[in-house]
Amino acid sequence: MENEASYKNRKVISIGTVSELTGLSERQIRYYEERKLVFPERSDRGSRKYSFSDVERLIDIANKREEGVRTEEIRSELKRKKKKDDQVTRNKMIQGQINARFGIRKK
């Protein structure tokens, strides 16, 4: 599962391929980047590189936009989800530290 997560998050896909996969125009994809909904990396030559997770997010964004959801609302939802995910991760780390301190092993 961990390999799947790292595989999905590797930024290796060009904007042209993302456009083909999502059905969005390159301009729409750049617009969503401007609106801070997706965060591609840049190659040494300056071209945008996306991950499979980015592709999934863009499809989700496009579906929400078709339903009439504004980009500000989508961004707020993404921030709430990230904050919740960060808290879950933090809680797992704390629990791991407690377990290690008191010699508790997972079964």
Residue pLDDT, tens place only, 16-36: 999 999 999 999 999 999 999
Residue pLDDT, tens place only, 68-103: 999 999 999 999 998 998 999 999 999 989 988 888
Q: Looking at residues 54-58, what average pLDDT do you find?
A: 97
3-class SS shares of the chain: helix, strand, coil, % to 5: 65, 5, 25
Count the alpha carbons within 13 Å of 32 in the hemisphere toward its beta carbon: 30
Q: Is the pLDDT of residue 1 over 70?
A: no
- Tally of residues, the chain: 107
pTM of the shown model: 0.76
Are 63 and 24 a contacting pair, CB within 8 Å?
Answer: no
